[in-house]
């Protein structure tokens, strides 16, 4: 399996987050990306870094806008600059109000926009959030292009969970899909700090085997899962299960 990695996969994440009413150190640390990378290497993946998004930002932006709302993307691109221009602003954008659908005027003030677009005080915006998001998008788009060109696999337990996964797999086959994109989240692990599932490391091996049984060209797009000591092993189990 080939792994296409964001050029910013080792970038420092947010400093803190709001968890059950307390500010705590954020779980999204640079070590998370490093451990995922090592897990891919342990599983025998060939890894390469995606192109820097700055080189083709206009075409990348066009691809993003084909999926996401333009106002939302404009906000992400300019949020930190507008926020940091306010006097006494924090280094990271936290929402502290929550506008709702009953408000009939869209307020452009940075504080109002933060409340409108950020729905979770664990998902902050900092100086490099937009750049890092572009790096992730660049990796996924490059991986999808490899899949389209003919590569069969690219990477960018509870019984009840596995039964549900088998049901989902059958739905994919019934639909007649020509390829499969898997949003790969290891926050289903039993020790994930914000997770609520009870999967063990060996569960990901079974998940990988089930996905392989669909016999579809597959792209794994890395998504969730905070840093825990078993993260590297969980990644390895998923890939080895798929490759077996």
- Rounded Cα–Cα distance for residues 217 and 170 (Å): 16
Distance, in Å, from the CA atom of 121 to the CA atom of 94, rounded to the nearest integer, reads: 6
Number of domains in the chain: 1
Over pLDDT 90: what percentage of the chain? 43
Residue 155, pLDDT score: 72
Phi, psi of 70 (to 5 degrees): -65, -40
pLDDT digits 0-9 by tens, 148-205:
888 777 677 555 788 889 999 999 999 999 999 999 989 889 998 877 788 899 999 9
Looking at residue 215, its pLDDT comes to 96
Look at 21 and 231; give whichever has higher pLDDT.
231
The torsion angle over the Cα atoms of residues 53, 55, 60 and 62, rounded to 10 degrees, is 150
Domain that residue 59 falls in: 2-243
Model confidence at 89, pLDDT cuts 50, 70, 90, reads very high
**What CATH number corresponds to the domain at position 44?**
3.40.800.20
User: Pairing state of beta strands 22-25 and 16-19?
Assistant: antiparallel
User: 106-140: per-residue pLDDT in tens?
Assistant: 788 999 999 999 988 888 999 989 988 888 888 98
- The confidence score (pLDDT) of residue 55 equals 63
- Model-level pTM? 0.78
pLDDT of 218: 95
Which bin fits 180, alpha (ψ -120 to 50), beta or left (φ > 0)? beta
Instruction: Tell me the pLDDT tens digit for each residue of 33-84.
Output: 889 999 999 999 988 888 877 666 677 888 899 989 999 999 999 999 999 9
Cα gap 189→179, rounded to integer Å: 26
- What tens digit of pLDDT does each residue of 201-230 get? 999 999 999 999 999 999 999 988 888 999
Q: In the beta sheet, which residues pair with residue 4?
A: 48
What pLDDT, on a 0 to 100 scale, did the predictor assign at position 157?
56
Residues in contact with 236: Cβ distance below 8 Å, sequence separation at least 6, in sequence order = 39, 40, 42, 43
Could you give the CA distance from residue 127 to residue 98 in angstroms, rounded to a whole number?
A: 22
């Amino acid at each position: 399996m080939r792994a296409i990695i964001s050029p910013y996969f080792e970038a420092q994440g947010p400093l803190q987050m709001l968890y059950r009413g307390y500010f705590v150190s954020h779980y999204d640390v640079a070590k998370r990306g490093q451990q995922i990378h090592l897990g891919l290497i342990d599983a025998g993946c060939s890894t390469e870094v995606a192109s820097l998004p700055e080189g083709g930002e206009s075409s990348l932006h066009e691809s993003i806008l084909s999926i996401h709302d333009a106002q939302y993307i404009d906000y992400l691109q300019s949020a930190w600059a507008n926020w940091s221009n306010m006097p006494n602003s924090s280094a990271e954008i936290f929402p502290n109000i929550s506008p709702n659908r009953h408000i009939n005027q869209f307020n452009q003030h940075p504080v109002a926009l933060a409340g409108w677009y950020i729905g979770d005080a664990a998902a902050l915006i900092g100086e490099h959030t937009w750049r890092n998001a572009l790096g992730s998008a660049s990796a996924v788009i490059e991986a999808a292009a490899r899949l389209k060109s003919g590569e069969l696999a690219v990477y960018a337990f509870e019984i009840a969970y596995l039964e549900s996964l088998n049901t989902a797999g059958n739905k994919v086959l019934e639909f007649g899909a020509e390829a499969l994109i898997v949003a790969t989240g290891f926050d289903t692990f039993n020790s994930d700090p914000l997770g609520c599932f009870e999967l063990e490391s060996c569960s990901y091996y079974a998940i990988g085997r089930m996905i392989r049984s669909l016999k579809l060209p597959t792209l794994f797009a890395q998504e969730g899962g905070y840093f825990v000591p078993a993260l590297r092993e969980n990644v390895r189990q998923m890939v080895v299960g798929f490759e077996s």
